[in-house]
A = this chain, B = another copy of it.
Amino acid sequence: MNGAESLVRTLLAGNVNVCFTNPGTSEMHFVAALDQVPGMRSVLCLFEGGATGAADGYYRMKGRPASTLLHLGPGLANGIANLHNAKKAGSGVVNIVGEHATYHIELDAPLTADIEGLARPVSHWVKTSNSSKDIAKHGAEAIAAAMVPPGQIATLILPGDTAWNEGAGIADIPEFEQRSSVDSNKVDRAAKVLKEGSNTLLLLGGAALREENLVLAGKIAAKTGCALLTEWSNARLDRGAGRIEVNRIPYVVEKSLDVLKGYDKIVLMGAKAPVAFFAYPNKPSILTQDGCQFFEVAGDSDDIASALAGLVDAVGAEQTEPKGVVKPFRPDVPDGPIDPGSIASVIGALLPENAVVVDESVTTGREFFPLTAGAAPHAWLNNRGGSIGYGLPVATGAAIACPGQKIVALEGDGSAMYTVQSLWTIAREQLDVTIMVFSNRSYKILRGELTNVGVQNPGPRAVDMLSLNRPDLDWVKMAAGMGVDGCKVKDAKQLAKAFESGLATDTPYLIEVEM
């Protein structure tokens, strides 16, 4: 078997059996190996940001890495923004990046680029494999690197001759780090703080946001009276009826300051000390009050489940009923115009059990939580890295990770345009994804940000740079052009009807929500 085949077989042996790909000439042996070796689900993406974002979504829902197959430096470059998001989300990804044959690189052909240099800023692990005898071993190392908790970006660069020369068979996956145990002193100290303090917040992130861990957090809150919150963006938050309600620190600086001003002690469980998404003139970047004390129990690579169990024990809450269990609540399907409230009502009313909500709704969705809290149990995924264009790719990967579950993608129009090519992949794979595009025909968030940085009356040239009108985007036509059915809605009743239609089938559906 050649190097490419030894790599594909090693990936499969390491349980990496999905490949999101946009291959080129230098990757042809890898593509050929997909035919020789059954078992790798290969998903073609028409732009690499679709591939890397899909690997992110896959990991968030499946808990193990997918691979990507990318074409030299520029192919990797097109995937960097969503690798940035995946890295910030703690998702494990195994990137395979083709490279010229080792002897061809020095000739400086058109596609020659510094692939390692491009990979390093978004990768925890980078290696160029220069021998077909080693490529399987390096592939195994990449899998191990990607599996390091909470999940890491591993980038393996594969020169053409390393793929086509004779390989050395399947390699074993080396041992890799597991989640670190948490120092019991940290648990005890946090327990003491929680028991004493009246203005204490338990800030949850990462694995703390899974259903079973939230129950532990709810017990601690019930026993000690502490508040529970999450960061603004979460890789995956389990929520809905019967689960523990936990809200996010708001995005807007003034609102987050207001929410956080009451706390003088914050226990960190998989989360970081809250900071502003952006800096603004004359506003603080640190969102907590001066003198607020932090007590970190677990970082996002630590054994958060055990840390929470230990904390339950240390505060004596084993037998305590958790606080914040959500009662089922379905809002009425509203009449009237489209606005954030009516959209949230429609989602809350109709969201099916085990749905996965991929939220890239930006301004429109800031207030979706209250009205969707009591819907059937579901997972809610945010953009951890802030690079827009994460939503449709992550929805793609989540759908492939979770057959039988409904995926709901909530998209700002500006964001959805970034990786719009994902619609085609969703259509080709006939994924069960229902997409709402909130068409306000502007980068609305930036209109607010212009005010935030001190510009009160923007002139026409500035406004023009933040507007998606002239011409208006027609999402139904674009979706149809890529094989996705859809419709446009102009009021809440139409939205509810369209959402029901989308959910009723197990194929893709796009709803353009005119704002």
Contact assessment for B385 and A26 in the assembled complex, using a CB-CB cutoff below 8 Å: no
Q: Please tell me if A222 contacts chain B, counting CB pairs below 8 Å.
A: no
Q: A31-B465, A46-B418, A418-B78 are in contact. Are A279 and B481 (CB under 8 A)?
A: no
Q: Mark A423-465, 1 if CB is under 8 A from B, else 0.
A: 0100110000000000000000110011011110011111011
Contact assessment for A35 and B460 in the assembled complex, using a CB-CB cutoff below 8 Å: yes
Among candidates B75, B111, B279, B475, residue contacting A385 with C-beta atoms closer than 8 Å: B111
Task: Report the Cα distance A191→B87, complex, angstroms.
Answer: 57
Contact assessment for A285 and B77 in the assembled complex, using a CB-CB cutoff below 8 Å: no
Among candidates B74, B383, B450, residue contacting A80 with C-beta atoms closer than 8 Å: B74
Task: Report the Cα distance A40→B108, complex, angstroms.
Answer: 36
Please report A residues at the B interface, Cβ cutoff 8 Å. Answer: 21, 23-26, 28-29, 31-32, 34-36, 40, 42, 44, 46-47, 49, 73-75, 77-78, 80-81, 84-85, 88, 100-101, 103-104, 107-111, 113-114, 117-118, 120-122, 160-161, 164, 233, 272, 275-281, 285-286, 383-387, 389, 414, 417-418, 420-421, 424, 427-428, 445-446, 449-450, 452-455, 458-462, 464-468, 470-483
Q: Would you give 8 A-B contacts (Cβ < 8 Å), ordered by A?
A: A25-B449, A49-B78, A74-B80, A74-B81, A78-B80, A103-B279, A103-B285, A427-B471
**Other A-B pairs, 20, CB within 8 Å; known A44-B464, A77-B387, A109-B285:** A35-B460, A35-B462, A49-B78, A74-B81, A74-B85, A75-B81, A78-B389, A80-B118, A104-B279, A107-B276, A109-B276, A110-B383, A110-B386, A113-B122, A117-B121, A118-B118, A160-B280, A424-B471, A478-B478, A481-B481
Q: Which residues of B lie under 8 Å from residue A75 when comparing CB positions?
A: 81, 387
Q: Which residues of B lie under 8 Å from residue A104 when comparing CB positions?
A: 275-276, 278-279, 285
Contact assessment for A465 and B21 in the assembled complex, using a CB-CB cutoff below 8 Å: yes
Contact assessment for B28 and A455 in the assembled complex, using a CB-CB cutoff below 8 Å: yes
Contact assessment for A113 and B107 in the assembled complex, using a CB-CB cutoff below 8 Å: no
Contact assessment for A421 and B424 in the assembled complex, using a CB-CB cutoff below 8 Å: no
Q: Give A405 Cβ to nearest chain B Cβ, in Å.
A: 23
Task: Report the Cα distance A111→B420, complex, angstroms.
Answer: 21
Contact assessment for A453 and B385 in the assembled complex, using a CB-CB cutoff below 8 Å: no
Contact assessment for A387 and B453 in the assembled complex, using a CB-CB cutoff below 8 Å: no
Task: Report the Cα distance A420→B478, complex, angstroms.
Answer: 11
Task: Report the Cα distance A210→B459, complex, angstroms.
Answer: 42
Q: Which residues of B lie under 8 Å from residue A49 when comparing CB positions?
A: 78
Task: Report the Cα distance A418→B419, complex, angstroms.
Answer: 9
Task: Report the Cα distance A26→B117, complex, angstroms.
Answer: 25
Contact assessment for B121 and A279 in the assembled complex, using a CB-CB cutoff below 8 Å: no
Number of copies of this protein chain within its complex: 2
Query: Which 9 pairs between the two chains have the least Cβ-Cβ distance?
Result: A471-B483, A74-B387, A35-B459, A478-B481, A101-B279, A477-B481, A77-B80, A104-B279, A110-B386
Contact assessment for B161 and A279 in the assembled complex, using a CB-CB cutoff below 8 Å: yes
Q: Which residues of B lie under 8 Å from residue A118 when comparing CB positions?
A: 80, 118, 121
Task: Report the Cα distance A507→B459, complex, angstroms.
Answer: 27
Contact assessment for A31 and B482 in the assembled complex, using a CB-CB cutoff below 8 Å: no
Among candidates B44, B449, B461, B480, residue contacting A465 with C-beta atoms closer than 8 Å: B44
Q: Which residues of B lie under 8 Å from residue A383 when comparing CB positions?
A: 110
Q: Which residues of B lie under 8 Å from residue A465 when comparing CB positions?
A: 21, 23, 31, 34, 42, 44
Q: Which residues of B lie under 8 Å from residue A281 when comparing CB positions?
A: 161, 164
Q: Give A257 Cβ to nearest chain B Cβ, in Å.
A: 15
Q: Which residues of B lie under 8 Å from residue A80 when comparing CB positions?
A: 74, 77-78, 80, 118
Q: Give A66 Cβ to nearest chain B Cβ, in Å.
A: 15
Task: Report the Cα distance A187→B327, complex, angstroms.
Answer: 86
Q: A23-B465, A420-B420 are in contact. Are A278 and B449 (CB under 8 A)?
A: no
Contact assessment for A453 and B164 in the assembled complex, using a CB-CB cutoff below 8 Å: yes
Contact assessment for A111 and B74 in the assembled complex, using a CB-CB cutoff below 8 Å: no
Task: Report the Cα distance A397→B420, complex, angstroms.
Answer: 22
Q: Which residues of B lie under 8 Å from residue A161 when comparing CB positions?
A: 279, 281
- Which of A24, A462, A481: most chain B CB closer than 10 A? A481
Q: Give A368 Cβ to nearest chain B Cβ, in Å.
A: 19
Contact assessment for A446 and B28 in the assembled complex, using a CB-CB cutoff below 8 Å: yes
Contact assessment for A160 and B279 in the assembled complex, using a CB-CB cutoff below 8 Å: yes
Q: Give A423 Cβ to nearest chain B Cβ, in Å.
A: 10
Contact assessment for B103 and A113 in the assembled complex, using a CB-CB cutoff below 8 Å: no
Q: Whose C-beta in chain B lies nearest to the C-beta of A454?
A: B164
